[in-house]
Chains A and B, each alone.
Chain A
Amino acid sequence: MSAYTAIRSFRFRSIDGPALLAGLIIAVPVVVTLLAGVLNGGGEAWSHIRDTLLTGYTTGTLGTLALTALMTLAVAVPAAWLVTMYQFPGRGLFEWLLILPLAAPGYVLAYAYADLMGLMGPFQVAIRETTGWTARDYWFPDMRSLPGLAFVLTCALYPYVYLTARAAFVSQSVCALEAARSLGASSARRFWQVALPAARPAIAAGLALTLMEAAADYGAAEYLGVPTLTFGIVRAWQSFGEPAAAARLALVLVVIVIALILTERHTRGRAGSQQSSTRWRNVSRTRLPRWAGLGAMAACALLFLATFVLPMSRLIWLVMESQGQIAPIGRALVNTLILAGSGAALAFVLAMVIALTARQSGLIAGFARLMASTGYAIPGAVLALGALLVMGYLGITLTGAGAIIALAWVYASRFTTSGAEPMVAALGRAPASMGYAAESLGASPLRRAVSVDLPVALSGAMAGALILFVESLKELPATLMLRPFNWDTLSVRANAYATDERLAAAALPSLLITLAGLLPVILLSWRLSHSRPGDTQ
């Protein structure tokens, strides 16, 4: 149905009310920020930022994105290919271990790695002790640099590409690979010219996700001292107290994010990636010879150690070492539960509305879904700015209930779509004819949604709620900008301690955040290992 006929035949149905409301709630923060960025003058601070800082922020963001993209592709795609196509010791274990780094936010890895690789970190100390050199006598990679930031973000975000590439390789047509063999293609040629091009759209989608998250990062960039646009937005608000200037920066950042999305769309192009296959046979993994197998195992182990085990061990070590002298975080824990809890609650309701209306396609439902996925692409700092602007217009101060509501709103605006996903998947497993049956029995769209689709969607509700809660809890920049006065959360505490160079104190909240982050990741990997290609998902 074309957009035109969709509009012509549009009829407001009982179910469109909630969908419209959900879409608007999600859309307001980003729309307000963009309008403010375009319409407001920007103030005095803006001319200062534009003349002295804008170039640095923009090149910082673009450079970080480019380097993160390169490193992510170089790591994630070969890892996915290895665990999908070859049999080697530990393969089954690594297949899901390699997803775990998704649990730790970039800023947590930044703290751990800056400490590990720093002047007083174990590596440099060991070098000086064994050689007798002083710190000036040798070169060592500096984490507090743009490559350092890209490295840390790669560690935290590569699983997005690993997951999509792996899914594409698993579901590729085995026949196409066998046909390539029969045509004399070597294994290298089969990878580069058959499997990789067919997986390209999936890889591009995973990469787009990675880069959106990288663009949204505030904590790692701030800690490692790399000026990026997100850093600039928070800075413009905090230091200059100038929302108009921050909105201008947000405009630039949103343009970059939109360019990313359009590039991803473009890679789909005219060439198809849809396999003609209707027959799925499990990929028969090639057993690697002894040494190659050990090499593959070592490569996967190295990746997992570097991206997860090493930084987490360092944080645990920091906590153990400073036994008993750790700053209390009980209050921050309670604040986190309240703020992330209220954010997750609001987002959950919106996610439910979106999942249920998505089932009955229509113009309004499509609008709500579009807004939700747009919100996910917009950095938290930009959304927080929108909420701040609205509160400013309404004359609400950043204290108490007003601030909690504003923060919950921003969490919902950003994360609703990721919470809706498991519910949409649960509904997708039920046959479409179920809904038609309800309608043929005289149920209105609203009644159908509530009494037929809702019970089915609930099987994905636990996962959805968990994802929403954990995403909210990991969020840093928006929380930093919007939290009620004196209401520090775990992420805000971790950031504050780390900035004060009290890493031992930052380690405990960082570990708690990562621990919470593990829950949905384990859920995800469980679902992964229990679904096969060809399943309806």
Chain B
Amino acid sequence: MSAHLIATNVTRRYGPTAVVEGVSLDLEPGDITALLGGSGAGKSTLLRLFAGLEPLDEGEIRLGDQLLSRPGKTVPAEKRRIGLIFQDFALFPHLTAAQNVAFGLKSRGKEAARTIAAEWLERLGLTGRADAFPHELSGGEQQRVAIARALAPEPAAILMDEPFSGLDPALRGSVRDTALAAIREAGIPALLVTHDPTEALESADCIAILQGGCLLQQGKAADVYMKPESAAIAAALGPVSRIRAADLPEGLAGQAVPAGAELIVRPEGVVQDEGSPVRAKVTASQLTGPLCRLLLDCQGQALTALVPRITAPKTGAEIGIRLDPALTFIFQSADS
């Protein structure tokens, strides 16, 4: 059984500003944890702290019993056995795919390294590409080589910095599925840094949300999505409509909303229901694929709904709506 990778109260400052502040994060073996946040949230810095590429100012990082980082002491990256995967692949341009994968297998001897590299390339569907140089590979192939290279030395954990956002969208899904399957199989702690909530929800077991260097919430993906602890977290996981209690159309909430609170609802939580007394006007109906996004005007309050395309009303129609309580969250408004 692999060890947990644990950060406790980790802080990292650049000059006077804390880029990561008091973050505690427990990465479980076999789980993929998505670290979600906007640009400048401190995601990459936290990853670099885990990797040992930067020293930390407060707190500590452990791998099981082994202390990796504390203030004044950093086990260097090359001694940590923690794999890294980058957005830009970072393959060694002068080495073939097989040589890239074998790079971290130096201690195994030449013959064994070659065999292991070949096995990994095969697992990631790159059998025929072993002797190709990186510039001769497609983006998806390059990223799969990078993943094989990181996993081949059997690292104790793996860290991925926006690994799929350099790929074109058509390719992204299949590369991600192959890659994450291999990583899950390794049964080690895995951190996936991303700014894309959809990617986090689709591919991760756990989600940790980082904002302004602070960890807002960590938990199972479904829990974080269905039970966000704040308006900011709810908004970080996808589009929402935010309505202040004072502006709430009458009868819409279906539950008591304290004065000064804020009601937050996901688009799929706005349900079209002709039996409902609450009416809304469709100001725009946008096709997004299998679903249709409705921009609604409900007593002067703007709302967004997602409904199946088949049953979607046309622009200008008036429909009855209600809110799904499971997808509606009420928080004390921050500015009240």
Residues of B within 8 A of A271 (CB): 93-95, 133
Q: B155 to chain A: closest CB distance in Å?
A: 8
B120 contacts A by Cβ under 8 Å: no
Q: Are B150 and A182 in contact (CB under 8 A)?
A: yes
- Complex: how many Å from CA A278 to CA B88? 7
Give the residue of A175, A197, A274 whose beta carbon is less than 8 angstroms from that of B135. Answer: A274
Residues of B within 8 A of A194 (CB): 92
Residues of A within 8 A of B204 (CB): none
Q: Mark A179-208, 1 if CB is under 8 A from B, else 0.
A: 111111110010001100110100000000
A275 contacts B by Cβ under 8 Å: yes
Residues of B within 8 A of A276 (CB): 88-91, 93, 134-135, 142
B110 contacts A by Cβ under 8 Å: no
Q: Are B84 and A197 in contact (CB under 8 A)?
A: no
Q: Are A178 and B53 in contact (CB under 8 A)?
A: yes
Q: Are A178 and B142 in contact (CB under 8 A)?
A: no
Interface segment among B63-71, B73-81, B261-269, B304-312: the answer is B73-81
Residues of B within 8 A of A184 (CB): 78-79, 81, 104, 106-107, 153
B325 contacts A by Cβ under 8 Å: no
Q: A282 to chain B: closest CB distance in Å?
A: 13
Q: Are A200 and B94 in contact (CB under 8 A)?
A: yes
Known: A197-B94, A272-B94. A182 touches B77 (CB 8 A): yes
Residues of B within 8 A of A182 (CB): 51, 77-78, 80, 82-84, 150, 155
Q: Are B90 and A178 in contact (CB under 8 A)?
A: yes
A273 contacts B by Cβ under 8 Å: yes
B293 contacts A by Cβ under 8 Å: no
Which bucket holds chain A's interface residue count?
20 to 34
Q: Are A183 and B135 in contact (CB under 8 A)?
A: no
- Considering only CB atoms, which chain B residue lies closest to A179 in the complex? B90
- Considering only CB atoms, which chain B residue lies closest to A200 in the complex? B94
B331 contacts A by Cβ under 8 Å: no
Known: A200-B94, A271-B133, A272-B133. A183 touches B153 (CB 8 A): yes
Give the residue of B81, B135, B146 whose beta carbon is less than 8 angstroms from that of A272. Answer: B135
- Complex: how many Å from CA A185 to CA B80? 11
Q: Mark B111-150, 1 if CB is under 8 A from A, else 0.
A: 0000000000000000000000111100000100010011
Which bucket holds chain B's interface residue count?
35 or more
B251 contacts A by Cβ under 8 Å: no
- Considering only CB atoms, which chain B residue lies closest to A273 in the complex? B93
Q: In A254-286, which residues have CB < 8 Å from any B CB?
A: 270-279
- Complex: how many Å from CA A182 to CA B90? 12
Residues of B within 8 A of A181 (CB): 52-53, 76-78
- Complex: how many Å from CA A9 to CA B244? 69
Q: Are A279 and B88 in contact (CB under 8 A)?
A: yes
Give the residue of B79, B92, B136, B142 whose beta carbon is less than 8 angstroms from that of A198. Answer: B92
Residues of B within 8 A of A279 (CB): 87-88
Q: Are A180 and B135 in contact (CB under 8 A)?
A: no
Q: In B46-70, which residues have CB < 8 Å from any A CB?
A: 51-53
Residues of A within 8 A of B52 (CB): 181
Known: A179-B149, A183-B103. A198 touches B133 (CB 8 A): no
Residues of A within 8 A of B300 (CB): none
- Complex: how many Å from CA A447 to CA B155? 62
Q: Are B93 and A274 in contact (CB under 8 A)?
A: yes
Q: Mark B202-213, 1 if CB is under 8 A from A, else 0.
A: 000000000000
Residues of A within 8 A of B86 (CB): 175, 178-179
- Considering only CB atoms, which chain B residue lies closest to A174 in the complex? B90
Q: A85 to chain B: closest CB distance in Å?
A: 14
- Considering only CB atoms, which chain B residue lies closest to A278 in the complex? B88
B166 contacts A by Cβ under 8 Å: yes
Residues of A within 8 A of B149 (CB): 179, 183
Known: A178-B77, A274-B135, A278-B166. A183 touches B104 (CB 8 A): yes
Give the residue of A178, A197, A272 whose beta carbon is less than 8 angstroms from that of B134. Answer: A272
- Complex: how many Å from CA A273 to CA B92? 8
Residues of B within 8 A of A416 (CB): none
Residues of B within 8 A of A183 (CB): 78, 83, 103-104, 149-150, 153
Q: Which of B80, B93, B155 has the most CB of A within 10 A?
A: B93
Q: Are A277 and B106 in contact (CB under 8 A)?
A: no
A53 contacts B by Cβ under 8 Å: no
Q: B215 to chain A: closest CB distance in Å?
A: 23
Give the residue of B80, B94, B136, B153 whose beta carbon is less than 8 angstroms from that of A273. Answer: B94
A173 contacts B by Cβ under 8 Å: yes
- Considering only CB atoms, which chain B residue lies closest to A181 in the complex? B77
Residues of B within 8 A of A198 (CB): 92-94
- Complex: how many Å from CA A194 to CA B86? 16
Q: Are B90 and A176 in contact (CB under 8 A)?
A: yes
- Complex: how many Å from CA A275 to CA B88? 9
Residues of A within 8 A of B84 (CB): 178-179, 182
- Complex: how many Å from CA A452 to CA B51? 51
- Complex: how many Å from CA A278 to CA B139? 12
| Given A179-B149, A276-B88, 9 more pairs with CB closer than 8 A | A173-B88, A175-B88, A175-B90, A179-B92, A180-B92, A185-B103, A193-B92, A272-B136, A276-B91
29 contacts between A and B (CB under 8 A): A175-B86, A175-B88, A175-B90, A176-B93, A178-B84, A178-B86, A180-B92, A181-B53, A181-B77, A182-B51, A182-B80, A182-B84, A183-B78, A183-B149, A183-B153, A184-B78, A184-B153, A185-B103, A185-B104, A185-B106, A197-B95, A198-B92, A200-B94, A271-B94, A271-B95, A274-B135, A276-B135, A277-B90, A279-B87
Where the two chains meet, the residues of B that have a C-beta atom closer than 8 Å to any C-beta of A are 51-53, 76-84, 86-95, 103-104, 106-107, 133-136, 142, 146, 149-150, 153, 155, 166
**Interface pairs A-B: 5 shortest CB-CB:** A183-B104, A175-B90, A272-B135, A182-B84, A181-B77
